[in-house]
Chains A and B, each alone.
Chain A
Amino acid sequence: GIQVEQSPPDLILQEGANSTLRCNFSDSVNNLQWFHQNPWGQLINLFYIPSGTKQNGRLSATTVATERYSLLYISSSQTTDSGVYFCAVSTDKLIFGTGTRLQVFP
Chain B
Amino acid sequence: DTEVTQTPKHLVMGMTNKKSLKCEQHMGHRAMYWYKQKAKKPPELMFVYSYEKLSINESVPSRFSPECPNSSLLNLHLHALQPEDSALYLCASSPGTPGAPLHFGNGTRLTVT
Contacts and interface: CB of A to CB of B under 8 A. Distances in A.
Contacts, number: 49
Give chain B's interface residue range (CB within 8 Å of chain A).
20 to 34
A36 to B, nearest CB: 11
Say what secondary structure dominates the interface of chain B: strand
B100 interface: yes
A95 interface: yes
Given A86-B42, A99-B42, A41 B99 contact: no
Given A41-B109, A42-B106, A31 B101 contact: yes
Interface string A23-43: 000000111010100001111
B88 A41 contact: yes
Given A93-B56, A96-B42, A48 B101 contact: yes
B95 to A, nearest CB: 12
A98 B22 CA distance: 27
Contacts of A42: 2, 104, 106-107
Interface of A: 29-31, 33, 35, 40-43, 45, 48, 50, 86, 88, 90, 92-99
Contact of A31 (B42, B92, B100): B100
B21 interface: no
